[in-house]
Each structure stands twice: as structure tokens, then as C-alpha cells.
Amino acid sequence: MSNLFSVLVALGGLSMFMFGMNTLSSGLEKTAGGLMEKVLAKVSGNIFTSVLFGAIVTAAVQSSTATTVIVIGLVNAGLLKLRGAVGIIMGANIGTTMTAHILRLASVGESDNFLINLINPVNLSALLAIAGMGIIMFSKKNKYKTIGEILLGVAILFTGITTMKNAIGPLFKEPETVKTIFGFLQNPVLGILVGIIVTICTQSSAAAVGILQMIASSSGGAVLFASAFPIIMGTNIGTCATPLLSSLKSSKNAKRAALLHFYFNLIGTILFLIVIYTVQFTIGWPFWDKGFDDGDIANFHTIFNVTVTAIFIPFAGLLEKLACITVRDKPGEEEDVFSKEDLLDERFLVTPNVAIAQCKEAVVQMGIYAKKNFEAVCGLFDKYDLKEVEKINEREELLDRLEDRVGQYLIKLNDCGLNEDEGRMVTTLFHLISEFERIGDYSVNISETAGVLYEEEARFSDRANSELEVVNSAIAEIIDLAIEATKTMDMTVLTEIEPLEEVVDRLVEELKAVHIDRSKKGLCAIDVGIHFLDILTNVERISDHCSNIAVYLISSKQQYETLKKHEYLDDLHKHGTAVYENKLKEYTEKYSLKALA
């Protein structure tokens, strides 16, 4: 009965350890604010820097699986080339060994030395838990709460280690029993299988190695090198399971990235097995039948991954070719067409700030599609091109699809335990996808007006076309500003949108008055004039949606719970800042009709 409860306590300790790792990883990812993914994509050009950074990132987030899954997502989204993924995956295998070195601290006992007592897991976890919870409870800013979350994650991790060690001790206190059990695992096939199975069950090679370390430290040297090293080999293969499963519904290159990880670990394991057993059956290893403690296991785990990485660095290209041979291009098949929808990879949902960054990129692409459509529509009044109309409609379909896709993705993201800033940004993006989609709709309306004029074989006067060119130039600029503001959230850009929107409103009113006067004088046919007014209405509404985008982004950036648009704009128009007034004057001069007189 006591053994049953010891097993339950050990499993509870393992659960705490894994939860602590997850909390620590989540906190570090929030602190990085998406920087990790950007740097991963940039350093991938050099094999040595990518190995180094892959190791650093994995050591920080405490999970090679997490790093590899993110890499697969970046490859799938087209942000990282397959060749660049090789080094990062190699480095991830080195970085994940840091967890084993942290776990060896569980063997630190009581001492008269203050520093040694301080790193004792029991004492250290207590101090970190107090500090972490204090920061979470008394800090108002999210960035400080995240630091508290990191400290609490480390505290839970160490508490889990201590709980596991204390529970495993009674189960493996008889050295002969341990030798008997692990004697079977000296068979390399059985040892590797056990390592694979435990790693798949725990979804973490670090957890599997940690369990082995706890058993080794509790059994008084009963775990021998001969039985420990095949298990460690198995954990390296088992950690490939999650990335492989994650890549099944992805692009060819994403599947190849997952296979890179698998082949690297598989071939490395085979090479090590060949070398280890060849030497043992010829010369013999002096430590073959000696006990392996938790520190020895951590050291061997690191030596294995560093050695395999050093061997593979010169052959990174061959590893890539092997993955490409496995997932072949079909005869006559073109390369995967990059789509901004691929940015919304569900693997990124485990890292909300990365998922938000990908959503922003997709929303920016919506703005680019809307801008391209508006520019194409403006050209239809000079030359009505049916092929261009077809392209406009295709881009409009892409806009509609992206709005739906991003909206669904944001709904899933909203259920991912977002902090206050992330939740506010998700709400803002919900608004922006609607605004950019409506800009696309109004461009299509103008395209339809151009189609009617083409069918009626009618056209505007040269003066009317010149007037439209002025207002269309202003609209093209305000759409550009809205895209740039979405991309950068730069307040300088954001504050330039509203004065330009005010200038567009004034232009539209002036053009309507001028056009009505032309109609009264008989200089413009009534039926053609109606189309001119329709265009003005549509461009004014495009300008309004760009203004909405600016208001939503200002609200998010300034951390307002709600920003009442009309009150904010009325106050800005009546009591405009010096910057507002200067930009208003600048745009008024830039888009003046006086030059047409």
C-alpha cells in the first residue's frame, strides 16, 4: 500500500515539475514578446549562429519540442527556409540538456555553507515562490507579473523535483532490485524503446531524463552506464513524436523540417550506438559496469548532443536533401504557393504573443490587398480592362477569405489564457479585419461604377478626371498610413491619419459642390454625374474606415478600456494639437484643387 502512495506522490511530483516547466516557458515567451521568433528567422542564414541561438532559446524555454514546433510553424508560414531550420533544430537538442543540469541540483543536501544551502531545491523553491507570488499579487503592470510568473514556475519546478526524489527513493532503495530491473534494459533495443515510450507519454525528453536521474540518485549507484545510455538515446528519438504529428497537416517544407529533427536524432543515436558497442566489444569501456548518478546522466546527455551536432554541422546540406528525398515534389508540381493564410498556423497558439504577431501580419496583408484593389480601380476610368477587373475580384475574394480565417483564428486565440495587453490587441485586430475588408468592398463598388460607365460608353470630363486624381491620391496615402500604423503602431503615423481624413472630407464636399454647379450649367450629364457622386461617397467612406483603424490602434496603444470615437474626434477637431494643425495645413496644400484652375 505504501508503494502505491509513493507512486502517486512521484506522479504528482512529475506533474508539478512539468507544470513548472510549462509556466516558466510561458513566462519567458511572454517576456520575449515575439522577439524569439523574429531572431530565429534572422539568424538562420549562418549554421553556427543558428545552432547557438537554437541552443539558447531552448535552454530558456526548457523544451526542444516547443522550439522545434515553432520552427516548423515558421517554415510552414514561409518565414523560415528549410536550410535555416537545420541549425536551429541542432541547437535545440543541445539546449534541452540544460534541464538535466538543473535537475542535478536535487542532490544538493544541507550544508554549513550559505551559498550551497541557498541552491538547495527546498530552500531555493521557497524563496522563489515567495518572491514570485509577491510580485504577482502586488504588481499592477503585466510585465512585472510575468516576471513573478517565471519565478513561480521555477519554484514549482524545483518543488516537483524534490517531491519526485522523495517519493522515488523508497521505491528504488534496494540496489539489487534496481540492478535486476535495469539489467533487462542493458539490451539496447529494450532501453531505447523504454526511453521512447516514456518521452512520448510525458511529451518531454527532459522529463524522461529527469525520471532516470531521480532513480539513479535514489538507488545508490545501482543504475549502470550500460543500462542508462540506451534510455537516454531513446529519449532523443521520442522527443521527435510531437513535431512529426504537428507537421502532418502542414506544407511540404514543414513536414521536411519535422523529418530533419527526426533524422538528426535517429542517425545520431545509431552512430553513437555503433561507436559505444564497437569499443565495448573490442577494448571495453572502464565505466561500463559502474554506477551512473544524476550528474553523470546530465553530462552524458550533453556530450551526446554536442558531439552529434559537431558531426552533423558539415553535413547540414545532406540532412536537408534526405528530408527532401523523403517528402518528394511530384513530377510537374510547382513549388508551394506562399499564402498569408499560412501565417495563421495553429502551432503558434501555444505562444499567444507569436500568434498575435502572425495575425497582425495577416491583417497588414489585408490592407495591402485593399490598397492594390483601390489603385487598380482608379485605373479603370482611363482604360477599362476586363483582366484587371478579374484580378480585382480575385483579391476581393482573398480579402473575404482572410477576414473569415483571421476571425476564426482570433476566436481560438482568445481562449488561450491571454494577459490584459494581449486581450486588448486581439480585440483591436477583430475591429481591423472588418475595417480593411470594408475598404475592399468600397473599392469593388467603384469598380462596378467604372463597369457601368464602360457599358454605357460614357466617361467623365477631363476636369472631373483631374479632380478624381487629386482625391484618389489622398485616399491612396491614407490607406498606406493605415497599413503602416497597423504594422508599427507608431504614434507619429497614427496621428497623421486623422488630419488627412479631415482633408478628404473637405475635398469631397468641395467636389460635390463643384460637380452640382457643373450639372446646373449643363456641363455634365445628369446620369454621368450620379456616378461621379457615387465614387465620391465611396472614397469618403474608405477614408472613414482608415480613421477608424487609427482610433482602434490608438485605443490599444494607450491602453484605454474604451475610446469613444466620436467624442475623441470631435475634441481633436475643436482643440487640435499643434501636430494635428500642422499636418492639416500640409495635407490641405498638398491636395488642393487650386492647381487645377
* Residue positions counted in the chain: 597
pLDDT digits (tens, 9 = 90+) for 185-243: 778 888 889 889 988 887 777 778 878 887 777 766 677 888 888 888 888 888 888 78
pLDDT score recorded for residue 21: 67
Final residue of a structural domain among 297, 326, 355: 326
Cα distances from 341 to residues 135, 301, 364, 396, 408, in angstroms, run 39, 39, 12, 15, 12
pLDDT single digits (tens) 288-297: 878 788 788 8
Residue 336 confidence (pLDDT): 42
Residues 310 and 372 in one domain: no
* In contact, 202 and 161? CB cutoff 8 Å: no
Claim to verify: residue 366 and residue 452 sit in the same structural domain = yes
Reported as a single tens digit per residue, the pLDDT across 81-98 is 777 788 888 888 888 888
Whether 322 and 345 share a structural domain: no
| Residue 174, domain member (yes or no) | yes
Asked if 82 and 147 sit in the same domain, the reply is yes
Q: Are residues 291 and 202 in the same domain?
A: yes
Q: Grid coordinates standing for 451? A: 463597369
Per-residue pLDDT, averaged over 571-597, amounts to: 76
Q: What percent of the chain has pLDDT over 70?
A: 77
pLDDT band at 332 (very low <50, low <70, confident <90, very high): very low
269-272: long-range contacts (C-beta < 8 A, 24 or more apart)? 269/192, 269/233, 269/234, 269/236, 269/237, 271/308, 271/311, 272/233, 272/304, 272/307, 272/308
Residue 276 sits in the same domain as residue 358: no
CA dist 501 → 103, 445, 497 (Å): 60, 20, 6
Burial (CB count within 10 angstroms: exposed 0-12, middle 13-18, buried 19+), residue 596: exposed
Out of 266, 300, 326, pick the residue that ends a domain: 326
Q: For residue 527, is pLDDT > 90? A: no
Least confident among 342-351, 375-384, 525-534, 535-544:
342-351
Q: Give the structural domain span for 419.
A: 341-596
Beta bridge partners of 224: 291
What total number of domains does the chain contain?
2
Q: For the residues 116-142, what does the mean pLDDT come to?
A: 75
pLDDT, mean of residues 279-291: 83
User: Rounded to the nearest 5°, which phi and psi values hold at 291?
Assistant: -65, 145
- The band of 320, judged by pLDDT with boundaries at 50, 70 and 90, is confident
What 3-state class would DSSP assign to 506?
helix
pTM, two decimal places: 0.61
Same domain, 448 and 541: yes
What per-residue confidence (pLDDT) applies to 335? 43
Domain C-terminal end among 302, 326, 350: 326
| Same domain membership, residue 322 and residue 356 | no
DSSP 41-72: HHHTTSHHHHHHHHHHHHHHHT-HHHHHHHHH
Q: Are residues 384 and 490 in the same domain?
A: yes
Interatomic CA distance for residues 306 and 310, integer angstroms: 6
Lowest-pLDDT range of 19-23, 82-86, 125-129, 339-343: 339-343
555 within some domain: yes
Residue 332 falls inside a structural domain: no
Average pLDDT over residues 553-566: 66
363 with 254, same domain?
Answer: no
Tell me if 336 is assigned to some domain.
no
Claim to verify: residue 204 and residue 250 sit in the same structural domain: yes
Q: What is the CATH number of the domain that holds 572?
A: 1.20.58.220
Question: Per-residue pLDDT averaged across 539-552, rounded?
Answer: 91
The top-scoring range by mean pLDDT among 10-24, 103-117, 126-140 is 126-140
Tell me the percentage of the chain whose pLDDT exceeds 90: 11
Question: How far is Cα 398 from Cα 379, in angstroms, rounded to an integer?
Answer: 21
Q: Is residue 333 part of a domain?
A: no
- Within 10 angstroms of residue 511's Cβ, the number of other Cβ atoms is 22
In this structure, the answer to whether residues 118 and 87 fall within a common structural domain is: yes
In-domain check, residue 583: yes
In a domain, 459, yes or no: yes
Residue 257 near residue 342 (C-beta atoms within 8 A): no
> Above 80 in pLDDT, residue 489?
yes
Return the C-alpha cell found at 178.
Answer: 534496481
Whether 584 is covered by a domain: the verdict is yes
